Chains A and B, each alone.
Chain A
Amino acid sequence: MGLRNFILKRLVYSFVLILLVILLNFVIFKGMPGDPVQFLLHPWGRESAEVRMQQEQNLRELWGFGEPFEVQAVKYIRNLLMWNFGTSYIERRPVTESLGIRLPYTLVLLGGSAVLSILLGVIIGIMVIQKRGSVVDSGVVTGSLVLGSLPTFWLGLVFLLLFYNILRWFPNKGAFPDAWAFGWPVPFTVSSSYTSTSLSSVFSLNIMSAWTFVAGYLRHLFLPMLTLTVFSIGGWILLTRATMLDAITEDYIVTARAKGLTERAVLFRHALKNASLPIITSAALSFGFILSGAIITETVFTYPGLGAWTWTAIQFLDYTVLMAVFYIVSICVIVANVVADLLYGIIDPRIKYG
């Protein structure tokens, strides 16, 4: 079986998996307590009992509650596949709209910390390999172990205590300074001027407010990102160290050494190339879990991303938001799996698909 068939098979399989996830979502949320109609209608509305009944009836018909189970399931699957998640009970606006607002925060925060921790972790892992067996080595290994087993939220609390309560270096909550609620810094303006013949736009950049903007954003990003990076860096160090250890016992490393190559060249040119396989696949996989890692950190720092959004949704049992989050996270994981599989094949030509 060639690569093409393999990809095809993976895609079909992933699609089936997505359908299964949707079905499970459907079953879980169908079995949950609470009536969505009551959620959406005003709980202390003043209308008469008949009007209220009529409103509930209308909503039930609109949402197809009277239809048979399988019809509902098919509608549900179609809606999710069409990226239509309905309206949030709490926020009273389409879930996709909120998603668009919240997603960038989480992507930058978790994506950034993932990239950072992978880079740093791999570099430290390789540096440790050069001194394997020494005190530094066992110290770094123990340290990584401890870092990896720290609870994320506690790490966040300690950073808050240190950097906010004691040192006052960084803010403790939000993604932007509170004062910006009354007027954001405008980093650039586009002014248009019409003449009789043409329309010309002048783009002007305000350096000072652009700097204020970026600095305000970064200052708020720092602590959550530090927390996530410190939390996950240990795992990358350990993984790099383990795969590199595997690689340097191979015969071709002995050959490379015998050729008289420097240790650095042996490690980076020969060993790392082969050791990078599991690292790259784990990296691809870890991006799939970005969203589910966000809840804890974002609640500690009140960061307005997907995690905090999910947490609010859980507190108020805002089912539409939860369904969307579950669905999107699952898809992320599935896609990451496929990407990891493909990367494996591209990097290591020895892999036979089948």
Chain B
Amino acid sequence: MLRRFLGFLRSLLRNGKSIVGLILISAFLVVAFGASLFTPYTPIGEDPLDRLAPAGSNVPPAWLRSLPTWLGGDPALSENMVIVQNPGSPRLIADGGEFKLETANPNLSVAPSDISYPYPLPLGYKRYGGEGSLNVTYTRKEGTTGGEVKAVIFKDFDFPYNGPPDSFYATISIQVNGSTTVSGVPPVDKLKVPVKVNVFLGLVDGRKFPIWPPVENIYYDVRMPRGFTKDKLTGAAGPIERPLFGATVFDSVTGTFINGGWVTSIKNELSTIRSTSQELVNPKSVFPFPNDPAPIVFSSTPSRYAYGIEIVFVDTKSTEDVSTTVIIDDFGLLLKGTSFGLLGASHRGWDLFAQLLYGTRTSLYLGISVAFFSVAIGLVVGLAAGYFGRIVDEVLMRTTDVLLVLPGLPLLIVLIAILGASIDNLILLLGLLGWMGFARMVRSQVLSIRERSYVEAAKAIGAGEFHIVIHHILPSVMSLVYISLATSVPGAVTAEAALSWLGFYDPMRMSWGRMLNEAVVEAGAITSWWWILPPGILISLLAASFILVGYALDEVLNPKLRLRK
């Protein structure tokens, strides 16, 4: 048995087609199993808003930057840049961190602390860096005078690209603690020293552009005010996860105090920078930020910039001891470039190369499962129809005929639309609708073998029907089985691609057909050739490799064919 198999393998390996096919298939298998080894990125995110997506929206591959223009290259493309290395625990350079401090007031002190933004982030939001925060404290003794005291904490960086980034992901969480007085009806804690906060992108010439409209006068202690236990807006105590420009602790719309500790920007929308020229014409009109930094800050030449926060303590009293602390956490900036990775990124910013690798997994899994499933059904039906004949044959073959004449793809689509598109349903349906041709082949083979003398002899000895089918008939149809296993994979793969293209894809898995659907139907990006071309090429490569192996098997197992040459 083993020797026969080895001989079979040897003659298979002597065949040029099968070598090419087998090499390709093994390459696909390696990619499918090791997809996570070849790319650090995931193909799809859990969050529909994809805030975690690694790249800008529908951006071309990074190597287009260095390609000459006449070949489609674009020197103005930029790449991803991580500006703040450890946003989770911002530190001054003096404390071994990366931020600079600019202040001249002896009443100010800046120190690292262990406090962190304490709430779990919602699904899809990622916390960069470690635990801890930076505390900016203003303290003044009774009798001295204050005024407006300013502290600027910032980081310089060089932007080496000739064009602006696609978008930036800027985050900050702030808490203000301080000595308070009780005022108002209902009674609330009012900060004795209100605070203004301005997160900005700065230019070389000293101009500062707020990323969000500056937060005016944080007047109220954002620790839990007396008499309020729940957030009036969300009904829950917790972080106020709103854009920073909405971080007025007093909500002017409802007239109530929003409760909770932290004001965070982590849920903030990204500022998109794409349409530079248009916005430059009238920067004032840009919605919703009248001073959108993007079009002005990122000009067309490499330059030096700063990312920082400006905190102004508005101290108007002079009679008592006051102290206010601003706790800064998650202070980060990530610039997403206008080009990304090997193959660019999808409209939601996901790495296309990763999608391609994980798509291999889906296609191979589906193709091979369907092949085994449909061949098994076809084998059983063909054996039964061919061996038992008569009424069994009649019933089985008429069923086969009916299934053969029904239009395959529409039937498949209707059934998948009703059952729901998951990969298991796809395998089930493709298997159930793909066995007919093979069953016919097996039946005709069995019909001719049934009449052979050795089957007669077995019958005469008194062998049972099951024994005859398994030991005398099955071995002679096994070559058909091998060939059909190889040749039914491509059909399944292309059928899956077609269904995914029409929108019936498994939402939990990335597949090649789905990539094309997302590119053309969802994103309308048919001109993004780096997105359109690779999936189709891989589909046909995979299909061709299985067909090649099938051909080779055919030649090896049916020696008659070899004589034709």
Contact = CB atoms under 8 A, between A and B. Distances in A.
A334 B532 contact: no
Chain B contact surface mostly = helix
A254 interface: no
Nearest to B496: A151
Interface residues of A, number: 47
Contacts of A165: 526-527
Contact of A161 (B407, B418, B532): B532
Contact of A326 (B407, B520, B526, B540): B407
A151 B536 contact: yes
A146 B407 contact: no
A245 interface: yes
A21 B536 contact: no
A325 B405 contact: no
A287 interface: no
Interface residues of B, number: 40
A136 to B, nearest CB: 16
B490 interface: yes
Interface of A is mostly: helix
A288 to B, nearest CB: 8
Contact of A314 (B413, B516, B520, B540): B413
A153 B564 contact: no
B409 interface: yes
A161 B529 contact: yes
Contact of B544 (A146, A151, A310): A146
Interface string B541-565: 0011001100000000000000111
A17 interface: yes
B393 to A, nearest CB: 14
Contacts of B335: none
Given A17-B398, A17-B402, A245-B564, A157 B413 contact: no
Nearest to A31: B418
Interface string B494-531: 10011001100000000001001000100000110100
Nearest to B495: A151
B253 interface: no
A310 B529 CA distance: 29
A160 B526 contact: yes
Contact of B497 (A154, A329, A333): A154
A322 interface: yes
Interface stretch (A54-62, A94-102, A211-219, A289-297): A289-297
Given A296-B498, A314-B414, A330 B533 contact: no
Given A157-B520, A333-B404, A295 B526 contact: no
B456 interface: no
Contacts of B418: 32-33
17 contacts: A21-B406, A28-B414, A149-B543, A149-B547, A150-B539, A151-B501, A155-B536, A157-B520, A158-B533, A158-B536, A160-B526, A165-B527, A310-B410, A311-B502, A322-B410, A326-B411, A333-B404
Interface of A: 16-17, 20-21, 24, 28, 32-33, 133, 142, 145-146, 148-155, 157-158, 160-161, 165, 245-246, 249, 288-289, 291-292, 295-296, 299, 310-311, 314, 317, 322, 325-326, 329-330, 333-334, 337
Given A150-B536, A151-B536, A325-B410, 19 more contacts: A20-B398, A20-B402, A149-B543, A150-B543, A151-B498, A152-B498, A154-B497, A154-B536, A157-B532, A158-B536, A161-B526, A289-B407, A292-B409, A299-B502, A311-B502, A314-B414, A317-B417, A322-B410, A330-B405
